[in-house]
Amino acid sequence: MPLTRSPLMTQHFAASAEFAEVDGWLVPARFRSVEEETAHTRTGAVLYDLAPHGVLELVGPDARKWANGMFTNNIRDLAVGACNRSAMGDEKGKVQGLLEVARTGEQSLVVMLDGVSPAAFSERYGKFIIFDDVELTDLSEERTVVHLAGPKAGEVLALAGLPAVSVGEAAVVSDVVLLGRDRTGFGGVDVVVPKAAVNELWGALRSAGAGVGGEEALESLRVRAGLARWPVDMGERALVHELRLVEACCNFNKGCYIGQEVVNRVDVMGQVNKKLWGLRMEEDAIPPLEAEVRLGEQVVGVTRSGAREGGVARCLVMLKKAAWQPGLVVEVVAGGRTVRATVSDLPFTS
């Protein structure tokens, strides 16, 4: 099947982007080097195209109550102009996806999906909308998403006539929805915009001083910040505690939701046997997904996502407790080759 293209393709071609496939989409891999794009993000403001991310809307008097019973965070008590991050869980507490929920009006919520298609979301949760007065609408055909990352994102937004929002905040300006979201470790904002207006918005943010970045730089920043991504970092077998998502995604005083009993029990017990850690490779090569990580003769984990930057390969790895020691040297085995690596706590410091 042909790859789906972003409505920003004209902008990307004009900026001499190199492209890659992500989840069936053709997206910019890079405009300049990864090092240049990540450096600009750390000190300024850089635009990233998030066209593959689905957008939904929940409308109705029961919208917040319904969402509160589905996901891990407190959506019931969200104020208008606030947003938070949640995990989608199954009955066993295993993460099935991630999402951001913004309360945009008295009876309306905008939902940003991460790694979950609108069709999969609707199939999974539509069956739970039976007696609740709430309507679920897929906005993805008419809306797209861009992300503005970096410490100067607020300044760029202000110059473009848009409000700056921090993590946990949301704003609506005409047909544009802004959600405070840190995807890089350096702050940022997701901007949900009508496809018909996205080229104009992109141009306005560029004129206000934003640079442009591709998937490789965004992935490198995410990996270095230790921010888990679904499904690559977890599959369907991980708990929020194992993914270091509790603080960002969970509320333990909100009442019942799918998987709550397991999540609460793990939190009370305070123990998991595996958890997401970092590996700094001794060779400048990203190991393949699910390569074995060994400590002596013992298999202590499998590699997950990875990225290269500055001549260094780093990856996220789901490690057993025996290897939870920063500085510990382990071996990564894949394709008949063995490469040494050093365990790092998250976020990476080097």
pLDDT tens profile 118-128: 999 999 998 88
Is the per-residue pLDDT at 241 higher than 90?
yes
Is the per-residue pLDDT at 303 higher than 80?
yes
pLDDT above 90: percentage of residues in the chain: 93
pLDDT at 114: 92
Q: Average pLDDT for residues 206-223, to the nearest whole number? A: 98
Rounded Cα distance between 246 and 239, Å, is 9
| CA neighbor of 334 nearest in space, from 299, 216, 219 | 299
Q: Average pLDDT for residues 282-287, to the nearest whole number? A: 91
Is the per-residue pLDDT at 236 higher than 80?
no
User: CA torsion 343→346→348→349, rounded to 10°?
Assistant: -100
Residues 45-95 have pLDDT tens digits of: 999 999 999 999 999 999 999 999 999 999 999 999 999 999 999 999 999
How many Cα atoms within 13 Å fall on the side-chain side of residue 128?
A: 16
pLDDT above 70: percentage of residues in the chain: 99
pLDDT at 110: 98
pLDDT band at residue 169 using 50, 70 and 90 as cut-offs? very high
Q: Structure pTM?
A: 0.95
Residues 325-347 have pLDDT tens digits of: 999 999 999 888 999 999 999 99
pLDDT at 223: 98
Rounded Cα distance between 313 and 76, Å, is 42
pLDDT at 234: 81
pLDDT at 2: 85
Residues 130-160 have pLDDT tens digits of: 889 999 999 999 999 999 999 999 999 999 9
pLDDT at 336: 87
Average pLDDT, the chain: 96
pLDDT at 305: 94
Question: How far does the chain reach from its first CA to its final CA, in angstroms?
Answer: 40
Annotate 67-78 with DSSP letters as a single string.
Answer: HHTTBSS--TTP
Domains delineated in the chain:
4-53+141-225 (3.30.1360.120), 55-127 (3.30.70.1400), 273-350 (2.40.30.110)
pLDDT at 271: 82
